[in-house]
Structure 1
Amino acid sequence: MKEAIERALDHLGDHSPITAVEQVSGGDINRAYYVQTQAEEYFIKGNEHVPAHFFRAEAYGLSLIKETNTIHVPKVHYYDEPENGEQAVLVMDWIEGGSQSADGERLGHELARLHQQQANEFGLGESTFVGTLEQPNEWCSSWLDYYREFRLKPQLTTAIAKDRMAGSRRSKLETVISRLEEWITHEPKPALLHGDLWGGNWMTGPDGPYLIDPSVLYGDPAFELAFTELFGGFPSSFYKTYEETSPLPPHYEDIKPLYQLFYLLVHLNMFGEGYGRSVDQIVTRYVG
């Protein structure tokens, strides 16, 4: 990793001596480092077990969010796209974190403003990643078509290939997928979403909340909010100010499990049967 860090710093033009390299928490997927030179402080992620465009997708998502001027994201200095399983790196600003509880209210307001940034269609024009799984995206005029074809069906296919989708689980999920229109009856606007917003993917910086590790798409804001409730990590003030700025659909509580289903399928496919029971509970709720 040392050589990859030195190569990245050389590419972005920081030739000053490196004064510190410390491995820090960076999630379950990448190795992450605090790197200090005489000129700057950086947060550098590395991984040699991902496709070449893995960090390009993350950098693209950060750039889309940054362009909205609604909420902070780390500045991206450099990323590479090496072939043949070589070490890939992403270099960003180092953000000194603080207490999340202090910024919940502001996060809710700023995320709602992000969701007010809209496109003409749902989806995205290129693939991204959710966790380590590649997320195919196409532009779709219908949210339900996008959610069915590019979110639920690919996870179903992956789960079948991993032998985690058989018997009644498979039949019930296939039924849910075919009948989405019965429960998701509102017509959302294509809003810019972070796409992977659990409690570990936002932080408090010196000038307010920051979003990190996006998997962006244009979709239903309720899809984003449903995931924030799945694993916790968001104070009550976040939801209060979000809904003051951008109310959720009246039947949100009825469709929330359908949106959480996607992320539970992702976790089933990435981490195994520990998430199977949660998937079963949701599909059974809708089709018995």
Structure 2
Amino acid sequence: MRDKIQEALHTIGDRTNIQDWKAVGGGDINRSFYVKTDQQEYFIKGNENVPSHFFKAEAEGLKQIEQTDSIAVPHVYHYDEPQKKEQAVIVMDWVPLGSKDVSEELGHQLALMHQHTKDGYGFHAPTFVGELDQPNSKKDSWLVYYRDYRLKAQLEYGKQNGLITGDRESRLQMLLDQLHNWIPENPGASLLHGDLWGGNWMAGADGKPYLIDPSVLYGDRAFELAFTELFGGFSSRFYEAYQEVSPLPDEYEQQKPLYQLFYLLVHLNMFGESYGPSVDRILKAYTSN
């Protein structure tokens, strides 16, 4: 991996001496490294068992967010598009951790990011949610995109791996048929991080919040906020600050479990039946016997 990293640094024009190199935490999927050269500090992730578009999807997502000039992200300098089993890396800024509470700034700036909109819903290229490939297309209807490219896609994953069968499958199919009762056809198509839980943002030493590891799409901003409430990691001040900039609609509380359902299905398909009861609870709440 060191040779691959050295090659990537040469590609971006940094041929200076490597002063420091160490493995760091950075998720369960990739190996992550802190690298300091005479020129700069970098955060580099590497893998040798990912699809060719794996790091490209992350880089494109970070670029989309960076271009809004609303909230900070690490700048990406290089990414590989590997052939099967080849080593690949993504090279980006090293962001030193800070100790300041930036929950208010995060809420304000995320709301500003959500004000960047487009005409359609979805995204022009496939992304990833965790290790699962996330198919995408641009649709004129958020309802159609969320039903077909999010919930139905997870239904198919679950059927293939035997985790969505019987009553669970029947109720999920019933919910898909009735989804128009709760999910809007045409909310604003906001730029969304797409995988915003407590581990995918950080407070930098410069006093700024940073978003990391996106799975971007354009969609209903309520979808993003619902996931932030699922696994914690966000303070009450974050939500207050968000609402100061962009109040959520009255329908949010009714929609929230249906938006959280997608992420629970993802976790069911990635980690197994421990997430099954949470999925079933939502399905039973929105479908009749």
Q: Give the TM-score range, shorter chain.
A: over 0.9
Whole-angstrom CA distance in 2 between matches of 1:186 and 1:56: 30
What amino acid is aligned across from residue 173 of structure 1 in structure 2? Answer: L
Query: Per-residue deviation at 1:185?
Result: 4.3
Q: How far is the alpha carbon of 1:99 from its aligned partner?
A: 3.1
1:67 and 2:67 correspond: yes
Equivalences for 1:1-288 in 2 at 5 Å? 1-99=1-99, 102-185=101-184, 187-205=186-204, 206-288=206-288
Cα RMSD of the aligned pairs, angstroms, is 1.0
Q: Secondary structure at the match of 1:179?
A: helix
The residue identity in structure 1 corresponding to 2:98 is G
Q: How big is each residue's C-alpha offset from its partner over 1:20-79, in whole Å with a ceiling of 9 and x where there is no partner?
A: 111111011111110111111000001111101100010000001001000000010111
- In 2, Cα distance between equivalents of 1:185 and 1:144: 6
| Unaligned segments of structure 1, at least 5 residues | none
After superposition, give the CA deviation of every residue in 1:196-243 in whole Å (9 maximum; x if it has no partner). 000000011114101000000000000000000000001111000101
Contact 1:65–1:114 under 8 Å retained in 2? yes
SS state at 1:210 partner: strand
2:75 and 2:233 map into 1 onto residues whose CA distance is 24
Amino acid of the structure 1 residue aligned with 2:166: G
By how many angstroms is 1:255 displaced?
Answer: 0.9
Tell whether the 8 Å contact from 1:148 to 1:177 is kept in structure 2 after alignment. Answer: yes
Change (3 A) 1:59 1:185: closer
The answer on whether the counterparts of 1:70 and 1:114 sit within 8 Å (CA) in structure 2 is yes
Moved over 3 A (4+): none
The alignment of Structure 1 onto Structure 2 pairs a total of residues equal to 287
Letter in 2 for 1:211: L
Question: Could you tell me how far apart the structure 2 residues matched to 1:210 and 1:274 are?
Answer: 31
Deviation string, structure 1 residues 242-287 (Cα, Å, up to 9, x no partner): 0111111102111101000000111111111111111111101111
Deviation at 1:85, TM superposition (A): 1.2
SS of the aligned residue for 2:138 comes to: coil
Structure 2: distance between partners of 1:107 and 1:207:
11
Amino acid at match of 1:208: K
- Contact 1:257-1:282 at 8 Å conserved across structures: yes
Q: CA deviation at 1:91?
A: 0.3
The question of whether the paired residues in 2 share the 8 Å contact of 1:17 and 1:38 is answered with: yes
User: Which amino acid in structure 1 is aligned with residue 121 of structure 2?
Assistant: F
Structure-1-length-normalised TM-score: 0.97
Preserved contact between residue 186 and residue 249 of structure 1 (Cα < 8 Å): no
Task: Compute the displacement of 1:82 (Å).
Answer: 1.4
Paired residues of 1:111 and 1:242 also in contact (CA < 8 A) = yes
> Deviations along 1:139-161, whole A, 9 cap, x unmatched?
11110000001000010000100
The 8 Å contact of residues 43 and 91 in structure 1, kept in 2 or not, is answered as yes
Tell me how far 1:186 sits from its aligned partner.
7.0
Identity %: 57
